Structure 1
Amino acid sequence: MARLPRLTIAGQLHLVLHRAHAGAHVFRDDEDFAAYRQALIASAPEHGVAIHAYTLLASQVLLLVTPREATSLSRMWQALGRRFGADYNRRHGRSGVLWEGRFRTTVVDAHAHFLDGCRYVESAPVRAHFASTAEEYEWSSAAHHAGGRVDGAVTEHPGYWALGNTPFEREARYRLLLEQPLPAALEQRLTQAALKGWAVGEPAFVNGLGEMTARRLAPLPRGRPRKVKKIVPK
């Protein structure tokens, strides 16, 4: 079966996952993390990608973004690879593949799931047992949204502004959200959707996306198609 093209739609919220090749640790030290983050900050605005949330783990990158154009994400990733890859290989005296093929992404209904997507991305260090709270992990945007520091990589989304009228209100409410783990079913749904490229949202949202792209947005029903009984006129 032919591989479906990557699902990217201009102006929509996207959840992005990029995993290291064979589960290896790409980021070995703080210099690696800092270099990737700097390359991300430079590449995203250059190609029209707004970063709303991010987490860099040793073997995985998670992003919540809005691309200006359908090709913005791919162009950003190419620039990111050029900026980070050559310097990384030089510093570590290596060559070869860093990542597990292409990045994976899906479109998420921002109205219904923006905050879910933020929590999914920013709570990844807690799920991976790298931190006891999301805010204490240095290489993510969680501390920014929770009021711990200002992060120049982040472009605020209207879904975050809707949490309150003042920065204090927004940060306090988001901290409460971060303290509550995502339901396991929702966490699994977001992971599988990103890996397989299935849109996340209510049927009306997915149907609306169908008017913007010819790419299939949901898995086909399981099993063989039902046979339609022909009625022969008498």
Structure 2
Amino acid sequence: MPRLPRIDLPGIPQHVIQRGNDRQPCFFQGVDYVRYMGELKELSVRSGCVIHAYVLMTNHVHLLLTPSQVGQVSALMQALGRRYVRYVNDRYGRTGTLWEGRYKSCPVDNETYVLSCYRYIELNPVRAAMVAAPGDYRWSSVRSNAEGVHDALIRPHPSYLGLSLDDDSRRKVYRELVGSSITAEELQLIRLRLQRQHALGSDRFREMIEAQLQRLAGPAKIGRPRKVCASKEDGVENSF
């Protein structure tokens, strides 16, 4: 059975994950993280994708980004993967693949789940027990989003900007958001939608995507379809 194409719509944020092959490390020294971020910055501009949040873990990467056109996320990830693999193989004298198959992604509801993905991504090092607080981890966007440290990769999403009218208040609200724990239900939902590459959001959001793409964007409903009256019109460090 052929794989369905990824759900890809312009202006809709996507949560992306790419893992190292067999969950092995894909970053070995500090210079590797720096190189990856430099390539990501250049290629995101070239491909027309806006990066809102990211974390580079030892053996996987999370990104939250918004494309302006269909196909831009795929173009970015393919070019980034090739460049970085070539760099790693040359630097460490290795051969073969670095990544575990294709990246996974899911569209994220602008209204309800973008900030949840911000927080989920930037809390990854805390859940993996690598640091005590998200700001202690160097290779993520949290210092930019929570503290205002300049990061050339980051452009805020409107949902983030909507937290407050001024920068200082916005960062304070965001620090409180990131400092609060994610419920087990929220973690499970984000992970499941990303693993299955289903839409993360409200029923209205999912139905909007399904209407545009004419395909399922979430789990099929269980049970027999309702009868329509004839008189009516048919109408984790392996943290995930």
Tell me the TM-score normalized by structure 2.
0.90
- Residue 3 of structure 1 deviates from its aligned partner by 2.3
Aligned counterpart, 1:92: 92
2:5 maps to 1:5: yes
Distance change in 2, residues 1:207/1:227 (3 Å) = closer
Aligned counterpart, 2:237: none
Supply the distance in 1 between the matched residues of 2:148 and 2:218 (Cα, whole angstroms). Answer: 38
Supply the distance in 2 between the matched residues of 1:92 and 1:7 (Cα, whole angstroms). Answer: 36
| SS, match of residue 144 in structure 1 | helix
Letter in 1 for 2:23: G
Which segment is superposed worse, 207-216 or 42-51? 207-216
Alpha-carbon deviations, 1:29-80, whole Å to 9, x = none? 1011111111111111100100000000001100111011120011111221
Alpha-carbon deviations, 1:83-103, whole Å to 9, x = none? 212111100100111111010
Aligned counterpart, 1:196: 196
Aligned counterpart, 1:231: none
- Residue 117 of structure 1 deviates from its aligned partner by 0.9
Distance change in 2, residues 1:219/1:148 (3 Å) = same
Aligned counterpart, 1:75: 75
Supply the distance in 2 between the matched residues of 1:152 and 1:227 (Cα, whole angstroms). Answer: 52
Contact 1:5 1:215 in 2 (8 A): no
| SS, match of residue 105 in structure 1 | strand
Aligned counterpart, 1:119: 119
Supply the distance in 1 between the matched residues of 2:54 and 2:143 (Cα, whole angstroms). Answer: 11
Which segment is superposed worse, 74-83 or 9-18? 74-83
Letter in 2 for 1:166: D
Q: % of aligned pairs identical? A: 32
> Which consecutive residues of structure 2, in runs of 5 or more, have no partner in the other structure?
228-240
Letter in 1 for 2:143: A
Alpha-carbon deviations, 1:93-122, whole Å to 9, x = none? 001111110100001111111111100111
Tell me the TM-score normalized by structure 1.
0.92
Number of equivalences: 227
Aligned counterpart, 1:52: 52
- Residue 165 of structure 1 deviates from its aligned partner by 1.3
- Residue 227 of structure 1 deviates from its aligned partner by 11
Aligned counterpart, 2:39: 39
Supply the distance in 2 between the matched residues of 1:76 and 1:173 (Cα, whole angstroms). Answer: 31
- Residue 130 of structure 1 deviates from its aligned partner by 1.2
Aligned counterpart, 1:218: 218
Supply the distance in 2 between the matched residues of 1:94 and 1:182 (Cα, whole angstroms). Answer: 39
Letter in 2 for 1:95: T
- Residue 82 of structure 1 deviates from its aligned partner by 2.9
Supply the distance in 1 between the matched residues of 2:126 and 2:102 (Cα, whole angstroms). Answer: 25
| SS, match of residue 135 in structure 1 | helix
- Residue 226 of structure 1 deviates from its aligned partner by 7.2
Alpha-carbon deviations, 1:180-220, whole Å to 9, x = none? 11111111111111111110111111111122213320122
Aligned counterpart, 2:207: 207
| SS, match of residue 105 in structure 2 | strand
Query: After TM superposition, which residue ranges in structure 1, 4 or more long, deviate above 4 angstroms?
Result: 225-228
- Residue 6 of structure 1 deviates from its aligned partner by 1.4
> Which consecutive residues of structure 1, in runs of 5 or more, have no partner in the other structure?
229-234
Letter in 2 for 1:141: S
Alpha-carbon deviations, 1:112-151, whole Å to 9, x = none? 1111110011111111111111111100000111115111
